Chains A and B, each alone.
Chain A
Amino acid sequence: MNIAVVLKQVPDLVEGLEIDVSGKAVDPSSVRYILSESDDHALEEALIIKEHVGGRVEVFSLDTGEAKEAMVTALAKGADHAVMVNAGLDSAPDNHTAAQVFASIFRDKRFDLILTGVRAIDDMDGSLGGLIAGFLDLPYVGLIRKVQVEAGGTTLIEKEYPGGCAAELAVTPPAVLGIQAAERPPRYVPITRLRQMMKTASVEELLVAPATLQPIGVVRLFKPEEGAGAVMLTGSLEAISQQVIGLIAERHLLR
């Protein structure tokens, strides 16, 4: 099984983010980047598939944010090859632009499965996986929690639905899969190994033609107003408890 995994860097919400002066984008200087969580799961699921049925796992990422560390970490976890894609972009693009770049790369390479996280926190224009599949006319299924490759190559997946239900679907590769959660939490790479890898690992640099799509027409970005939203209750623990119970009692909800 030849598997490609597409990794994306997104702003780390722990550090908070600010909107830039124009009001149309996030201020990149206020942002620290981290690997999108579901992409981490996609990588893990790819490695699990490789453990079960053998094959190769190659990771791809656009050259933005702290992508190098994510690539090396992927190699340390067991990926076979890492490719940093340079599309002449100086900031993280929208998913259409990114999908166009990846579609052009994957059109020539023969991958059985292309895995990526089903969504990232900065998705505004559809999931990357779905768009790549759309551009390449490949099947796509998203919100996946398990992938099992059978003997003939048929890929069985579990797709999550509301209410805790899931559908078992059979997909004929080549296909794109949007992973929600891997079967196991993403594996840990000890820092010693990561540091060693940083010194020895090589990441392929792939130069592609710059992207041409128009980004979506953002009018403005704004944060929910401070103060709009909940009425905040303050005071000692006891005072707050009394207020809360009072609110509940007002609605005749106390037994």
Chain B
Amino acid sequence: MIPTALKIGPVPGWAILWVLLLLSAGIFAWRVSFLVRLLRLGRADNRFDQIPARLKQVLVYVFGQRRLLDEPLVGIPHVLIFYGFVVFVMATTGLLLQGLFPNLSIPTAERTPILATVVEIFAVLVLGGLAVSSFRRYVLRPKGLQLTFDAALVNILIAALMVTYLLAEGFHLVVGPAEKGVWLPVGKWLAGPLGESPWLQAHALTFYHLFWWMHVLILLFFLAYLPHSKHMHLLAAPFSAFFSQLGPPGRLPAAVGEKVRLGAERLEEFTWRQLLSAFACAECGRCERACPSFQVGEPCSPRQLIHNLKEQLLRYGPALIAKARATADGGEPTLIGGLISAQELWGCTTCLACAERCPVMNEHLPIMVDLRRRLVERGEVDTRLEEALRNLARYGNSFGQSERKRAVWTQGLDFKPKDARKEPVEWLWCLGEYAAYHPSLLGITRSLARVLHGAEVDFGILFEAERNFGNDARRVGEEGLFELLRDKNTATFEKAQFHNLFSTDPHVYNTLKNEYPDLNHGRHTAYHYTELLADLIGRGHLKVTHPLPYRVTYHDPCYLGRYNGVYDAPRRVLRALGVKLVEMRRSRGNSLCCGGGGGRVWMEEIGDVHARPSESRVREAAALEDVKILAVACPKDYVMFTDALKTTGLEGRLAVKDLTELVAEATGTGLAA
């Protein structure tokens, strides 16, 4: 009764199956090897270290489907389809083997207890999952989800596979009962109505064979089609997860070398892992939906970025494979100015929401920064940004203020902070340029100095020797400037005497913690000031004498939260102050960027003023019942949100306060004498 045992015309079924299998497998293998050769166009990148940790990534993110489950409407159906696929792979293997070797007795799923049931049930679950996801895709139409023919075809093929399987099974049961011990509830349920029609009953065997063959044909077609469609993410995702970045996302890869041109704009200048992103991307649009710049109406979209990389790879990669090494001009048009515009690249705030949400662990940021590095290398930088970069190089701050004025803020204090260049201190306070120079922030900086002084924290500053630490210069693509600033600061650190350091600015914190290797060789540890405050309050060095009766919401800064996982310390501080902490919907890892990162504060604002992320965020905070204070822990957030309050007219309704101000009020130490 095995369908391939029969002849179709003059040829035995199993022979036809062999031919089709070899054909399909051949196409599959050829295509996959072609894709791998495309990947090999990319630069080297050692991602073969720490194998156990990498396997864990695959376990958690691929088999655990961790990221998808935060959106249950898509997560649950996808889990069903995913595991349905896993189960079906087993079932199909058995089925094919039986078909290829009809003379051998192969334990197919059909005839195995438990397995048969499981496969069946999964077929139904997969259909259910497809129904929900299709409803979401075609009726709800979430933004960013591309309604392509390819996607539709894949859905149809999966559905068809399930349906043909179930129908084959149903008809098989009409022909004769299942094997002993095998329980096929769905098959039985189908067989019922099918068996009622005498015509169907008479031809049940034919239908069984028909649906069996249809299932196999669709399967073989799918196999060959798979690596040609976006569904190849199935094959690539486990690898993209395995080869994902294990180190902190706040550490960008350094420039390749002195002789190599900085940045990337042609295929061979990207790493193979970056090119792999193109194949792993399932075009789900989760990154795009999370992107604050995209929401503002900028052409910037992480999904589009990866998609364009894929386009470039598929279109021009083959020619490059043919010529073993590309000529200087390549013949390959550059990505920038071709598929990707400079405007798209400058629109990014580097908030990391895209990479945070990506289910296949793609790393959009380093690709974007490599492209920006190339723009900078070509000198294609607009005037405002250029001015900021020139000021950074010359004066060590983007404001164009004399470096001699960096410590002017201390003049409002009734004590002189210790000079870490001259005497040893326990804590080095790296202020960052905003806290030191921006007129709206000087009061807060002084407050923090008083709070720490009052708590008898042994801290010091670098006075005029501090320079911008380079986090945003690096993210803007000016790698040389970053190195220059890092060198200067590192030399200053070497001469200063301190144990650990902390910063008021998450951007400074990020780069000190992750990108200043000389600091991190176990000698000094970098902290954010909220971690220090949490510790002081926890140990009783800072006493809350006036608990604050406010309802407060807290905005997680990108570089503190998503980049470095510091979500709890600021919340501990707030709770210790006695406030009632109310969370916004978009909090912790889902926090909405204020729009100022990635050097955006140094660029022209494009897009509709009233769609800006900072406005959206203050409205979100103001919508919380009875919440009057939006607490922040980043100076750029403070400036961005204060401006947004003005442009939205919410100044009376909501106040923006740095955590320092609240701590100062609650401990009675930060106010001026």
Contacts and interface: CB of A to CB of B under 8 A. Distances in A.
A59 B117 CA distance: 84
Contacts of B376: 188, 190
A86 B394 CA distance: 25
B484 A14 contact: no
Task: Identify which of B262, B379, B386, B389 gathers the most chain A CB atoms within 10 Å of its CB.
Answer: B379
Interface in B402-419: 402, 404
B480 A195 contact: yes
Contacts of B402: 14-16
Contact of A185 (B258, B383, B389): B383
A29 interface: no
A188 B404 contact: no
A191 B401 contact: no
Contacts of B395: 14
Given A188-B379, A188-B386, A193-B480, A15 B404 contact: yes
A148 to B, nearest CB: 23
A14 B401 contact: yes
A55 B484 CA distance: 34
Contact of A192 (B262, B383, B400, B401): B262
Interface string A127-147: 000000000000000000000
Nearest to A199: B258
A105 interface: no
Contacts of B383: 185
B466 interface: no
A195 to B, nearest CB: 6
A192 B379 contact: no
B379 A194 contact: no
Interface in A96-132: none
A191 B379 contact: no
A34 B391 CA distance: 12
B377 A190 contact: yes
Contacts of A193: 377, 480
B481 A188 contact: no
Contacts of A194: 480
B258 A196 contact: yes
B379 A14 contact: no
Contact of B478 (A15, A187, A191): A191
A234 to B, nearest CB: 16
Contacts of B478: 190-191
Nearest to B477: A190
A189 interface: yes
Contacts, number: 44
Contact of B400 (A14, A185, A191, A195): A14
A192 B377 contact: yes
Given A14-B395, A185-B386, A187-B379, A192 B480 contact: yes
A241 to B, nearest CB: 16
Interface string B469-497: 00000000011110110000000000000
A17 to B, nearest CB: 11
A187 B258 CA distance: 22
Contacts of B255: 192
Interface string A172-194: 00000000000001011111111
B381 interface: yes
Nearest to B481: A191
Task: Identify which of A14, A193, A195, A196 gathers the most chain B CB atoms within 10 Å of its CB.
Answer: A14
B404 A191 contact: no
Contacts of A185: 383, 386
Given A14-B401, A14-B402, A16-B402, A191 B393 contact: yes
Given A14-B400, A195-B484, A188 B381 contact: yes
A240 to B, nearest CB: 16
A10 B157 CA distance: 73
A185 B400 CA distance: 18
A16 B402 CA distance: 9
Contacts of B480: 190-195
A14 B396 CA distance: 13
A187 B379 CA distance: 7
Nearest to B386: A188
A135 to B, nearest CB: 34
Task: Identify which of A190, A193, A194 gathers the most chain B CB atoms within 10 Å of its CB.
Answer: A190
B545 to A, nearest CB: 29
Contacts of B394: 34
B479 A192 contact: yes
A212 to B, nearest CB: 35
A14 B404 CA distance: 10
B269 to A, nearest CB: 15
A195 B393 CA distance: 12
Nearest to A77: B379
A16 B400 CA distance: 13
Given A14-B395, A14-B400, A185-B383, A190 B262 contact: yes
A195 B258 CA distance: 10
Nearest to A194: B480
Task: Identify which of B381, B395, B404, B480 gathers the most chain A CB atoms within 10 Å of its CB.
Answer: B480
Nearest to A189: B379
B603 to A, nearest CB: 14
B627 to A, nearest CB: 26
Contacts of A196: 258
Task: Identify which of A185, A187, A192, A193 gathers the most chain B CB atoms within 10 Å of its CB.
Answer: A192
Nearest to A184: B383
A34 B381 CA distance: 21
Contacts of B404: 15
B408 to A, nearest CB: 13
Nearest to B258: A196
A194 B394 CA distance: 13
B645 to A, nearest CB: 15
A194 B393 CA distance: 11
A15 to B, nearest CB: 5
B466 to A, nearest CB: 17
Contacts of B379: 187-190
A223 B17 CA distance: 97
Nearest to B385: A188
Nearest to B484: A191
Task: Identify which of A16, A187, A188 gathers the most chain B CB atoms within 10 Å of its CB.
Answer: A188
A41 B483 CA distance: 28
Contacts of A187: 379
Contacts of A189: 379
A4 to B, nearest CB: 23
Contacts of A14: 395, 400-402
A14 B377 CA distance: 28
Nearest to A192: B480
Contacts of B483: 191-192
Interface string B370-391: 0000001101010100100110
A85 B383 CA distance: 32
Nearest to B378: A190
A185 B387 CA distance: 11
B476 to A, nearest CB: 11
Contacts of A191: 393, 478-481, 483-484
Contacts of B393: 191
A73 to B, nearest CB: 11
Nearest to A195: B480
Interface in B243-279: 255, 258, 262
Given A185-B386, A190-B478, A191-B393, 7 more contacts: A14-B395, A14-B401, A188-B389, A189-B379, A190-B376, A190-B377, A195-B484
Interface of B: 255, 258, 262, 376-377, 379, 381, 383, 386, 389-390, 393-395, 400-402, 404, 478-481, 483-484
Interface of A: 14-16, 34, 185, 187-196
20 contacts: A14-B395, A14-B400, A14-B401, A15-B404, A34-B394, A185-B383, A185-B386, A188-B379, A188-B381, A188-B386, A188-B389, A188-B390, A190-B262, A190-B478, A191-B480, A192-B479, A192-B483, A193-B377, A194-B480, A196-B258
- Ranked 8 nearest A-B pairs via Cβ: A191-B480, A192-B480, A191-B481, A188-B379, A188-B386, A188-B381, A190-B376, A15-B402
